[in-house]
């Protein structure tokens, strides 16, 4: 059997399929369920400094090509998070996603994560911040660079930088984030949904994040562009639903993938389905291991 | 999101309403919808009647249910679903145990499979959707048994082959604590938790990794007994743990 | 019957459904066919200074959520274009799309278009240019502003500015283009397609433009953002396939819509289908005319 | 994009090949595929045999067809389609008129509905897929009638109820010029134009607003006669008009 294990930095994963942040990972019980169902690793819902209720419902809207969501970064805050995960048995396979409005918040959160005995963080660089109205932290190249430098300097955490696709130049963004151990590409695409009879927005927050099959071509482009330019470790995410989708990301340079919205269509069996499909593909295409197809098209 | 029209609005008691709407949806007993009041929130609601026409029955807790209750015949009604699993098909002697608006969820079962119905409410005025021969319990004794529906029902549990339960989590917890897994009857419980997505991806309704919206809402007693969080704490909208006030399990 | 006529600047259209640039509009015969089939107007394929063969095939790739294309701006060049359209009977209902790599090219093309007795141009601001490697003309705010100012100053043409969604801030782009008579939102989204058995790109040019249902939520967001900020005339485009899609764009501020990829699914009957659907919606929702729903949600 | 494997490659003559591939596609006579050689171009090709196994028959014009001809048994074969309409079902006396690789497109019809086959080529060496009793014309007279297939066929057109034609545009034009719409037979013509998309959206194959790939490839003679551009000019890859060298219509 061809090996499907993979490595992100010095982190070895038994298989390359990871639960994406924000989907079925608000509770530690669900994280464990994904890990038991065959996920190679799992990312928590993004955690901030303070408790947040998030936006009022509707927070999701299913459309023919995927999903719109504006959950609004609801999270219990870092204190409650640390409390809940005190005896958590799978800290090595769990990457803690954090978000903040400025460098100080990110750094403080990262230190708390390390203090709670996790060793990996994913930086959700797609939340609104104050410097530029309407812009995201992750669109501010200087801030991205600073956040990563300070976390790398101030902790021993492995740092994954999750980049937003809502920019003119994702490669420039990646370069600003190059001190990270890995890139996670991509977060949701900004979008809107409309209900024509009520003439109201499909999401309470009006603007939401677009995920699922409809954004896969955009995610592939981001992975390709960034891999070609940087050759760094990349975790591909965006619309991955089948093992064929996962292969596409590997061929363009991703060493692992995350699945989010696809859980809506495939539910927990998705991990073993994708893993089996990857193994069969490697077998039948005569590759000995996953690493042999990573980036071969670039 | 689908939309249809309000066909009828029945006031069941001082704050409970049944809203019938024009739709050809097909659902199984125990399933729920995510109901949307445009401009307002989207909330989960059990189908109290499955078809011709389908209906929901709700208590006006807060803003959204209040707005719902003010809809007029002909007004548009928005929903997605039905979601969730359904009650299994019973055989032998059947009991239904409902607390609060839990009767709404059980109602479509009751209409399909006959059985003894045990209903609890705070007072007489809180009752609704009652049928002939229902066993009533009120906290204040204003009608029927004085005490909780669990106090009334628990002694009889072993008389039944199938028991279907729907009500507030502390009520269900009280039943489980009494039965302690030793009942000879098959007990199925429809759970209620805060729900944001209704389709099993947001995790806001999860109890020990079981999603109430997708793995449930209906679980066997054995499953519920494995939920160490059940009856102990729930989650707020932020995902924060909040203990039930009646203490730890 | 509710009126579905609309106005973009001083141009009155009998109905608001326009053929988008690049789809079935390389030949004057096909433009006429769309107009006869019920299109309110039609935009030509983008015309440049010189003849271009475009990229080699494959130039399109159908995916589950839409279409990827990299036709490569094949066009006969302005000289041959002017020659072909000499006796063309529908110049008022035909908007000539032009593209260039710099201001001079755009202005020269616009003058030729005016000389050929057309009175409207659409500026395709999404082609690669030299100043910034890998960037598009339409991402360079100064150049966009200059191109439009010079065309407005040097001709009497009505100018439609077709903006790219491949930017961090589409509102800033719209503001740079504010001297235009109308905005056309959006052009295709940059994307990639992969074929996993050959391990080759689905398009000869590797990177292509993503269109069809999958980009509709992105287009709606762009229309909403720009309308909210500018209140100018907007032509919505991106994934419109049904009359319901068109209504969504009107509610967010579009006064007309363009259809491209949907011709693949619905073919020429699309115009009358969408027009009929819009009229029925206005009727049943008790609006007297299309204008009554334009922008009502914003 | 589908993919299958090459089952067989038959060399029909010095530069014509038939490639059989493993696929369960279902197509009607006259339909075509867009064939892709990964890393190379995608080109339109008629199905010369519809199934069990399907095949294409092509002349090695340039790079892509040459690469195709070099595929080995077991190699992967990529395509999308089938696209285009198909030849109508004939009745009465049937004639097939083929020029160049046009015989590939007609072949599946010939195999299904018997009729008289008229084939033209430059020389004897250019012929392929021949069957018993085919009427052959060669420009150089190296086999059969000396002259074009139109010269050979035109005098007989009114002997047929249905005539199916496929060949280079100037050849078809020559036939139409001779018949001038006065034939008693129903004449259907499969056209060939540069094709980029194959699915009716790029406009590169259009003649007076008729898309060869989607409205065709098969048109009735009456339709073709309404195409004022037909036989007069075609389009290059840029969309530029290029007149046929044998003059204006
Ligand atoms: C699967 C399911 C089925 C339900 N079926 C019924 C039913 O048939 N009839 C009925 O009357 N009620 C039912 N409920 C409860 C109903 O959803 C809440 O009463 C409703 O959301 C209250 O909304 P509100 O704005 O009127 O009140 P609010 O002011 O928002 O809150 C009043 C109470 O409702 C709770 N609540 C608020 N939002 C939610 C939510 N998204 N999910 C769960 N609880 C919430 C709050 O915790 C509070 O206790 C059901 C709940 C679930 C999960
Ligand atoms: C509907 C249709 C069905 C066809 N069926 C067959 C068939 O069954 N057998 C067969 O041998 N040929 C067929 N052809 C022609 C075939 O597509 C071309 O011969 C092929 O594209 C040449 O590719 P090349 O790279 O080998 O040659 P090139 O060097 O590219 O060109 C050689 C010749 O082919 C023409 N050509 C190039 N590209 C195209 C294109 N995309 N569409 C049309 N013509 C083109 C050129 O104008 C030139 O005359 C068909 C064409 C069409 C439109
Ligand atoms: C409901 C929902 C909530 C999300 N919440 C977060 C989040 O908190 N932090 C984050 O970095 N990404 C979040 N995302 C983005 C996903 O992690 C992922 O990047 C995106 O959905 C694309 O992947 P997919 O198409 O597989 O879902 C969320 C996505 C969805 C659908
Ligand atoms: C095959 C194809 C070719 C296109 N060519 C052009 C073009 O030449 N100029 C242009 O401005 N837009 C071009 N576009 C973009 C469309 O005009 C339109 O903006 C985009 O496809 C989104 O709309 P749709 O989803 O309705 O197709 C092209 C799109 C497609 C699919
Ligand atoms: S409500 Fe979202 S997972 Fe149950
Ligand atoms: S080949 Fe594209 S329209 Fe015919």
Chain A, nearest residue to B79 by Cα:
A58
ipTM of the prediction greater than 0.85, yes or no: yes
Q: Which of A141, A214, A225, A252 to probe the C interface (max C CBs under 10 A)?
A: A214
Select from B31, B45, B214, B219 the residue to mutate for testing ligand 5; criterion: most ligand atoms less than 8 Å from CB.
Answer: B214
More confident residue, B51 or A175: A175
Residue D247 pLDDT exceeds 60:
no
State mean pLDDT over B93-113.
Answer: 95
Q: Give pLDDT tens digits for A43-77.
A: 999 999 999 999 999 999 999 999 999 999 999 99
Domain assignment of residue C54, yes or no: yes
| Range(s) of the domain holding residue A182 | 6-292
Q: Is B96 exposed, middle or buried (0-12, 13-18, 19+ CB in 10 A)?
A: buried
Domain assignment of residue C142, yes or no: yes
Yes or no: say if A21 and A46 are a contact pair by the CB < 8 Å rule: yes
Domain assignment of residue C83, yes or no: yes
- Interhelix angle for C103-115 vs C141-154, to 10°? 30
Ligand 6 contact via D203 beta carbon (within 6 Å)? yes
Yes or no: say if D6 and D20 are a contact pair by the CB < 8 Å rule: yes
Other CB atoms within 10 A of residue B103 CB? 29
CA angle C69, C72, C77 (to 5 degrees): 140
Report CA torsion sign: D169, D170, D172, D173. positive
CA gap B96, B73 in Å, rounded: 32
CA gap B82, B79 in Å, rounded: 9
Q: Which two tokens stand for residue A19?
A: 């639960």
Q: What is the pLDDT of residue D182?
A: 80
Q: Which two tokens stand for residue C45?
A: 């394929």
D180 contacts: CB under 8 Å, gap ≥ 6: none
Ligand 1 contact via B104 beta carbon (within 6 Å)? yes
Q: What is the pLDDT of residue D248?
A: 39
Given pLDDT bands bounded at 50, 70 and 90, which one contains residue D103?
very high
Residue A134 pLDDT exceeds 80:
no
State mean pLDDT over C128-141.
Answer: 72
Yes or no: say if C108 and C114 are a contact pair by the CB < 8 Å rule: no
Q: Which ligand is nearest to the CA of A74?
A: 3
C90 contacts: CB under 8 Å, gap ≥ 6: C31, C32, C35, C42
Yes or no: say if A240 and A217 are a contact pair by the CB < 8 Å rule: no
Q: What beta strand segments (E) does A14-157 contain?
A: 17-19, 41-43, 60-63, 66-69, 94-98, 120-124
Residue A129 pLDDT exceeds 80:
no
CA gap C178, D205 in Å, rounded: 38
Other CB atoms within 10 A of residue B3 CB? 17
Among D38, D43, D206, beta carbon nearest to C57: D43
Domain assignment of residue A123, yes or no: yes
Domain assignment of residue C297, yes or no: no
Q: What is the pLDDT of residue D180?
A: 80
Yes or no: say if A253 and C224 are a contact pair by the CB < 8 Å rule: no
Which of C32, C59, C127, C218 is the catalytic position? C127
State mean pLDDT over D86-105.
Answer: 96
- 3-state SS of chain D is CEEEEEEEEEECCCCEEEEEECCCCCCCCCCEEEEECCCCCEEEEEEEECCCCCEEEEECCCHHHHHHHCCCCCCEEEEEEEECCCCCCCCCCEEEEEECCHHHHHHHHHHHCCCEEEEEECCHHHCCCCCCCCEEEECCCCCCEECCHHHHHHHHHHHCCEEEEECCHHHHHHHHHHHCCCCCCEEEEECCCCCCCCCCCCCCCEECCEECCCCCCEEEHHHHHHCCCCCCEEECCCCCEEECCCCCC
CA gap C38, C269 in Å, rounded: 8
State mean pLDDT over D148-168.
Answer: 96
Residue D222 pLDDT exceeds 80:
yes
Domain assignment of residue C160, yes or no: yes
Given pLDDT bands bounded at 50, 70 and 90, which one contains residue B248?
very low
Yes or no: say if C114 and C156 are a contact pair by the CB < 8 Å rule: yes
CB distance from C297 to chain A under 8 Å? yes
Give how far Cα A231 sits from Cα of A227, B201, C85, C169, Å.
5, 33, 50, 28
Report the relative pairing of strands C120-124 and C158-163 from DSSP bridges: parallel
Query: What domains, with CATH codes, occur in chain D?
Result: 2-83 (2.40.30.10), 94-243 (3.40.50.80)
Chain C, nearest residue to A249 by Cα:
C194
Q: What is the mean pLDDT of chain C?
A: 96
CA gap A71, A79 in Å, rounded: 20
Q: For A185, which DSSP code?
A: E
> Which residues line the pocket of ligand 5, CB cutoff 6 A?
B 195-198, 200-205, 211, 213
Chain A, nearest residue to B229 by Cα:
A29
Look-up of token digits 């408790």: A51
Q: What is the mean pLDDT of chain A?
A: 96
Task: Name the CA dihedral angle for A32, A37, A42, A45, rounded to a multiple of 10 degrees.
Answer: -60
Q: What is the pLDDT of residue C139?
A: 87
Q: What is the pLDDT of residue D246?
A: 60
Task: Name the CA dihedral angle for C74, C80, C81, C86, rounded to a multiple of 10 degrees.
Answer: -160
Q: What is the pLDDT of residue C9?
A: 96
Q: What is the pLDDT of residue D52?
A: 82
Look-up of token digits 């086959």: D117
Q: How far is C97 from chain D (nearest CA, A)?
A: 15
CATH of the domain at C64: 3.20.20.70
Contact A29 B80 (CB under 8 A): no
Other CB atoms within 10 A of residue D207 CB? 28
CB distance from B193 to chain A under 8 Å? no
Structural domain total, chain C: 1
Q: Give pLDDT tens digits for D30-62.
A: 999 999 988 889 999 999 999 889 999 999 999
State which H helix or E strand residue C151 sits in.
helix C141-154
Q: Give pLDDT tens digits for C174-208.
A: 999 999 999 999 999 999 999 999 999 999 999 99
Other CB atoms within 10 A of residue C285 CB? 14
Residue C135 pLDDT exceeds 80:
no
Domain assignment of residue A297, yes or no: no
CA gap D150, A280 in Å, rounded: 56
- Interhelix angle for C243-251 vs C270-284, to 10°? 60
Q: For chain C, how many residues are written?
A: 298
Q: Give pLDDT tens digits for C76-124.
A: 999 999 999 999 999 999 999 999 999 999 999 999 999 999 999 999 9
CA gap A48, C215 in Å, rounded: 31
CA gap B65, B36 in Å, rounded: 10
């Amino acid at each position: 059997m061809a090996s499907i294990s993979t490595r992100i930095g010095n982190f070895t994963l038994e298989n390359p399929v990871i639960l994406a942040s924000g989907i079925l990972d608000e509770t530690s019980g669900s994280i464990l369920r994904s890990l038991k169902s065959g996920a190679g690793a799992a990312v928590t819902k993004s955690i901030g400094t303070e408790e947040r209720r998030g936006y009022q419902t509707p927070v999701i809207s299913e459309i023919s090509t995927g999903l719109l969501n504006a959950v609004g970064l609801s999270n219990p805050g870092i204190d409650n998070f640390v409390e809940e995960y005190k005896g958590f048995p799978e800290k090595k396979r769990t990457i803690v996603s954090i978000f903040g409005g400025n460098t100080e918040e990110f750094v403080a959160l990262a230190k708390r994560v390390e203090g709670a005995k996790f060793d990996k963080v994913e930086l959700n660089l797609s939340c609104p911040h104050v410097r530029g109205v309407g812009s995201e932290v992750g669109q501010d190249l200087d801030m991205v660079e600073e956040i990563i430098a300070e976390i790398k300097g101030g902790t021993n955490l492995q740092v994954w930088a999750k980049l937003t696709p809502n920019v003119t130049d994702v490669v420039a963004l990646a370069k600003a984030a190059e001190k990270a151990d890995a890139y996670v590409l991509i977060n949701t695409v900004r979008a809107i949904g409309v209900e024509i009879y009520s003439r109201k927005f499909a999401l309470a927050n009006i603007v939401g994040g677009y995920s699922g099959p409809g954004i896969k071509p955009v995610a592939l482009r981001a992975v390709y562009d960034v891999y070609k330019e940087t050759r760094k470790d990349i975790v591909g995410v965006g619309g991955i639903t089948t093992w064929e989708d996962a292969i596409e990301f590997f061929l363009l340079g991703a060493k692992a993938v995350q699945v989010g919205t696809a859980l809506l269509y495939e539910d927990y069996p998705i991990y073993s389905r994708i893993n089996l499909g990857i193994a069969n593909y490697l077998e039948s295409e005569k590759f000995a291991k996953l690493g042999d197809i990573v980036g071969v098209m670039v | 999101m689908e939309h249809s029209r309000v066909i009828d609005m029945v006031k069941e008691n001082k704050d409970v309403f049944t809203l019938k709407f024009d739709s050809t949806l097909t659902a199984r007993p125990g399933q729920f919808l995510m109901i949307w009041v445009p401009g307002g929130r989207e909330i989960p609601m059990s189908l109290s009647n499955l078809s011709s026409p389908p209906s929901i029955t709700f208590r006006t807790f807060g803003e959204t249910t209040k707005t719902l209750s003010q809809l007029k015949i002909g007004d548009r009604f928005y929903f997605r679903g039905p979601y969730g699993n359904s009650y299994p098909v019973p055989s032998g002697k059947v009991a239904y145990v409902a607390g609060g608006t839990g009767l709404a969820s059980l109602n479509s079962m009751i209409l399909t499979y006959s059985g003894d119905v045990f209903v609890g409410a705070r007072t007489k005025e809180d009752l609704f959707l009652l049928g002939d021969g229902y066993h009533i319990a009120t906290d204040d004794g204003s009608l029927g048994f004085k005490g909780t529906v669990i106090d009334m029902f628990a002694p009889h549990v072993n008389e039944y082959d199938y028991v279907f339960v729907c009500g507030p989590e502390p009520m269900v917890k009280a039943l489980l604590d009494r039965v302690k897994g030793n009942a000879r009857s098959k007990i199925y419980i429809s759970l209620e938790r805060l729900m944001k997505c209704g389709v099993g991806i947001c995790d806001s309704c999860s109890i020990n990794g079981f999603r109430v919206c997708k793995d449930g809402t209906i679980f066997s007693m054995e499953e519920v007994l494995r939920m160490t969080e059940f009856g102990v704490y729930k989650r707020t909208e932020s995902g924060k743990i909040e203990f039930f006030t009646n203490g730890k399990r």
